[in-house]
Structure formats: structure tokens, C-alpha cells
Amino acid sequence: MLSGGDMLVRSLQDEGIEYVFGYPGGSALHIYDAIFRNKAVKHILVRHEQAATHAADGYARVTGRAGVVLVTSGPGATNAITGIATAYMDSIPMVVISGQVPSDKIGLDAFQETDMVGVSRPIVKHSFLVTDAAEIPEIVKKAFYIATSGRPGPVVIDIPKDITSPAETFPYEYPKKVKIRSYVPAEKGHSGQIKKAVQLLLDAKRPVIYAGGGVIQGNASHLLVDLAKRLNYPVTNTLMGLGSFPGEDKQNLGMLGMHGTFEANTAMHHADVILAVGARFDDRVTNETSKFCPGAKIIHIDIDPASISKTIQADIPIVGSVQSVLSEMLEVLKVLKQDPDAQALNDWWQQISDWRERHGIYTKKRYETTGQIKPQEVIQALYEVTGGDAIVTSDVGQHQMFAAQYYRFKRPRQWINSGGLGTMGFGLPAAMGAQFAEREHPVVCVTGEGSIQMCIQELSTCTQYHLPVKIICLNNQALGMVRQWQDLHYDGRYSESLYEESLPDFVKLAESYGHVGMKVTRREDLKAKLEECFAMKDRVVFMDIYVDQSEHVYPMQVAPNGAMRDMWLSKAERT
Ligand SMILES: Cc1ncc(C[n+]2csc(CCOP(=O)(O)OP(=O)(O)O)c2C)c(N)n1
Ligand SMILES: [Mg+2]
């Protein structure tokens, strides 16, 4: 016999939850009292509810398991909204439990009342408003099932205070399984479609495999590698898909899209067959859809039927889990015993090598190493010092794109960033969540002096839980990505993208939280300081690295109305 609050926490325990990221308040106090009694589920107290969601999100991205958040009603719940939207846009499994005002006060503009189910509706996969305490175990089980199955996403459980009251108890049993009649996520793809897709791939003359975050979320990276190796086809990754195919592999064309490589975007444009795997053809990839890859037949594998032909019409749609569909494709390939057209493939690789030679960012250095430190060289030095093994989280802006381009991720779940929503403030709390999951490799947050200030208070959480994250702040003293667009589209009118002399002394700020701060302004010091930073394995180190404010991220697709291949390669060169 347990109270509603105790049942809730006990259900989390029985679901195998290690950590709950949260922040208490009135409507959640019965739950917090139950947290106090429970010894198995560890609660992590953040400093802002947005950070709770990002930390749970970072944890989920590293482990593949659902992140869990607990907040109070009203402002606690609304502060969590940005993080819920962030998880929703990137299909990250998360369960958010929000306290609510007592049932008999709902709708009366009660103190700290917000209609959380209503407010979060467009950015959740599903939500529950609990009306009967006896249903808590089943609701929790369903919430985790929905959050983690099919196309993952956030689920909200809103619980009025009276439902968690210790005054009443109920027989407790955690269900072993759930079945939801109206929800049947896809698993196996259509075998006929899979055979057709394999045949189309084998007959291709200029194939490209375009792999997205779904490959990582679907734990299918090894199968992607098997398929690409079996065929010797080029692979390009979306921002979310980085790490699903080894970064330095010669078949890897690098990232595609807005800041994709010349070879990736140009190969896509000229492809005759594109195999899209767990990717959704979003506007940061396709550029102008009417000009997208004019000669390509498209095979689209996705677990979410709503993603297929949403922006780009698929010729062979396959709805199913990436793991199951890729396995079956490999089986079909074994049986067929046909190989791709060797001559055509050879010519295609020749062409790609030529593109790489001409404008690749990995074949030639695309930035100058004179004057101030360049952001690109910071990421390259970071890559060297960490042996390419760190878990890297990022915020949003130029630093994010430089990290995506120059830290050549080796494995899935190594690159943690807000791709879909583009949430500044994500990096540090996501690194905290990652650090709870990750003991083996260092966790690094690559950030900008703008973004880091959006959740800077979490330096205190790092102190409390001894989370030795390393913060690499590419300090260009500007909202760099905004400034870049103002250079390109607004004749350099820097409307509200510069902050005069108002930036804090980050070294002192880090120190005030008990951490180590380092300021780097000279190229000669960069490598040694980074080494010093990573030698301090059990400390938070905030590296404030001053970089050239005038640097732009290139390549950059020409928008609007550009095709994949229409790019600026530098301030002066265009394709
Ligand atoms: C919460 C939020 N507000 C605004 C933006 C729009 N935005 C995108 S990048 C950027 C500048 C980021 O500056 P900084 O963190 O210093 O990174 P930099 O581009 O300078 O590397 C802004 C304001 C955003 N992505 N997220
Ligand atoms: Mg900046």
C-alpha cells in the first residue's frame, strides 16, 4: 500500500530510472517527500528547470534511455517548456513529471496554476493528466513506453497535488508490459519495398547515403557502416547524424546542408540515387526544395510515416525501424550476390575526390593562422588533445558549426547538440546529463560567450555533484552567427549582436563557483592550455578562449532560393 507520491517514485525505481533532474515547489512537495524516502532513484537538483530538461536530454542522448524531469506547477512547468521543445524536435526520449494545483482548484486561476497539458501539447509526443492515483503505475509505464518506442519524444505527466497526497494509500503493482491499442509503432519495413530499394541502390551510378539522427537513436550505426562498406558508397551525415559513420573514414563526405562540406552538398546535388536513413529532409539540409537534387531517385527509410514525403517526395518509402530495415537490406544483398557497377562507382569516386581536392575543408586549410586565434583551430586542437574521443556537447551559433565540422566524431552518441530547435543554453546542462552517464571519456561543452550565459547558473550544479565538465568557450565577444548573417544580408549593420564592454570575467566567475578558469588569447598558448585543462580530470575547467570576431562559418549554402550545391566557400568565393 503506497500513497500516490510514493507510487510515482516507486514506479520510476521499478522502471530502472537512475536519475531524476528537477527542482521542487509547492505542487510537487508530496512527490519530493517521496523522493526523500526513496533510496534508489537519485534526484539531481539543478538551478533552473530549463537545465533539468537539457540535462535529462543529454543523459538520454548518451545512454539511449529516457531522461526524467520533475518540476513544480506554473513557473516550474513553463521553465521546462524550452527543453521539452528541444527534445521533441530532435526525437529524444524524455518523461517530464509536473506537479499541478489540486484537482478542485484546476481552472480557478489558482496560485501557480498553468495548464501544462495545454501549453506543452504541440511539443510532446503524448501527455497525461492524472485524475486517479490508482492509475499512476500504469501511466508511468505507458509514458516510458511511448517516450522510448517508435520515433522517440517527450511525454508529460501532469499530477495534481491531491493525487500525490500521503493521506490515502493504494495497492501498488508496477505493470510488466503495456499495450496501447491506438499506438502501434512501426518495426519491420515492407519486404517488397526493401527489395526494390536494394535493386535501385545496386543499379545506381552516382549514389549517396544520407544518414541522420534516426540512425543513432535507432542504434543502427553498425548496420549503416556494414551497408556502406559492402557497397563502397559515399556517406554524408546531417548535423544530428554525426558519429553514426566514422568521421575520418574515407567514405565519409562530412556533414551536408547549410554549413555542409562542398563535396557532400555537391555530391547530393548530382546524385542519381539517394538513400535517406533516419533523416527528415529538413530545410537546413535541402535548401530550396524545388531545386533539391534534380536527378535523384529517393529511398527514404524512417520509423515515422509522417516524416516520409513531408518536404521531399520519396520514390521508395520504407516505414520501419532503421535497425530492422538495414538488417533486411543487408540480407537481401547477400542473397542477390550482385555488386554495384564498378566502372560507374570508380568514376563517381574520382569526381568526389576532385571536389574534395578543390574545396574540401579537410583536404586544405580553409582559414588563416595569422593574427588572432581562429575558432576552427581551437576545435582542431581540442580534437588532437582529446584524441577525438571526448563526448562533445554544444550550444548554438558559429561555435556549434565549427565543432560539427572540425571535431570528426568517431562513434554514435558522441555529439550532443540541439539541431532542430537550435536552443542556446543547451550545452552546459546537456554536458551535466552526459557526465552522469559517462565515466570513460571526458565531457566537453563547446560554447559561445552568448550561449553560455543562458544557463550559466548550472556551474553551481556542477559544484554540487562534482561533475568535471570542460567548458570550451569560443569567445568572439559577439552573437557571432547573428553577426555573420548581418554581414551577409544586412550590409554589416550589427543590430543588437554586440555587447560593448559588458561581458563578465569568466575566469573569476568560474572561480566563484569553485572551478578553474583560464583565459587564452594567444595562439602559442592554446595547445598547452588545453592539455593543462584536460589533465585536471576531476575539475570543472572554464576555458575562455578569445577568437577572431570577424570569422564566418563556411561553406554556407546560398539562401533563399539556392540548390544544395549553391554555396559560399569563403567571403569572396561562390560556387
Ligand atoms: C534561445 C535562443 N535565442 C536566440 C537564438 C538565435 N541565435 C542563434 S545563434 C545566436 C548567437 C549565439 O552567440 P554565441 O553563443 O556567442 O555563439 P557564436 O555564434 O558567437 O559562436 C543567436 C542569438 C537561439 N538560437 N536560441
Ligand atoms: Mg559569440
Number of Cβ within a 10 Å radius of residue 498: 14
Catalytic residue list contains 161 = yes
Residue 565 has which C-alpha cell?
A: 550545391
Best probe residue, ligand 1, of 86, 424, 426, 495 (max atoms within 8 Å of C-beta): 424
Q: Is pLDDT above 90 for 364?
A: no
Q: Is pLDDT above 90 for 360?
A: yes
Residue 439 has a pLDDT of 86
Gap from CA of 448 to ligand 1 centroid (Å) = 8
Residue 194 has a pLDDT of 98
Q: Ligand 1: which atom is nearest the Cα of residue 451?
A: 15
What does the mean pLDDT of the chain come to? Answer: 97
d(CA 398, CA 553): 6
Q: Is pLDDT above 90 for 379?
A: yes
List residues near ligand 1 (CB under 6 A). 395-399, 422-425, 448-451, 474, 476, 478-482
**Residue position matching grid coordinates 554524408:** 236
- Poorest-confidence range of 99-103, 119-123, 177-181? 177-181
Q: 13, 18, 42, 112: which one is catalytic?
A: 112
- Closest C-alpha residue for ligand 1 atom 4: 424
Residue 387 has a pLDDT of 98
**Residue position matching grid coordinates 519524444:** 153
d(CA 476, CA 129): 45
Coil, helix or strand at residue 286: helix
End-to-end CA distance of the chain: 70
d(CA 177, CA 393): 34
Catalytic residue list contains 486 = no
Per residue in 328-343, pLDDT tens? 999 999 999 899 999 9
Q: Ligand 1: which atom is nearest the Cα of residue 395?
A: 15
Nearest 5 degrees, angle CA 21-CA 66-CA 447?
Answer: 60
Q: Is pLDDT above 90 for 370?
A: no
Residue 491 has a pLDDT of 97
Closest CA to 299 of 196, 185, 226: 196
Closest CA to 362 of 284, 253, 445, 463: 253
Gap from CA of 544 to ligand 2 centroid (Å) = 11
Share of the chain above pLDDT 70, in %: 100
State the maximum Cα–Cα separation within the chain, in Å, rounded to a whole number: 77
* C-beta of residue 473 within 8 angstroms of C-beta of residue 427: no
Gap from CA of 43 to ligand 1 centroid (Å) = 30
Residue 514 has which C-alpha cell?
A: 569553485
Best probe residue, ligand 1, of 258, 373, 396, 552 (max atoms within 8 Å of C-beta): 396
pLDDT band at residue 428 under the 50/70/90 scheme: very high
Q: Which residues pair with 567 in a beta bridge?
A: 557
Q: Which helix (H) or strand (E) covers residue 351, if one does?
A: helix 342-359
Amino acid 431 reads A
Catalytic residue list contains 111 = yes
Gap from CA of 494 to ligand 1 centroid (Å) = 14
Q: 111, 250, 357, 464: which one is catalytic?
A: 111
Q: Is pLDDT above 90 for 32?
A: yes
Gap from CA of 517 to ligand 2 centroid (Å) = 18
Query: Phi and psi (nearest 5°) for 475?
Result: -90, 100
Q: How far is CA 45 from the centre of its chain?
A: 23
pLDDT band at residue 155 under the 50/70/90 scheme: very high
Residue 337 has a pLDDT of 85
Per residue in 381-394, pLDDT tens? 999 999 999 999 99
**pTM, full prediction:** 0.98
Best probe residue, ligand 1, of 89, 402, 451 (max atoms within 8 Å of C-beta): 451
Per residue in 183-200, pLDDT tens? 999 999 999 999 999 999
Residue 500 has a pLDDT of 86
What number is the average pLDDT over the span 94-107? 98
Per residue in 523-552, pLDDT tens? 999 999 999 999 999 999 999 999 999 999
Protein residues placing their CB within 5 Å of the ion ligand 2: 448-450, 476, 480
Catalytic residue list contains 49 = yes
What number is the average pLDDT over the span 449-465? 98
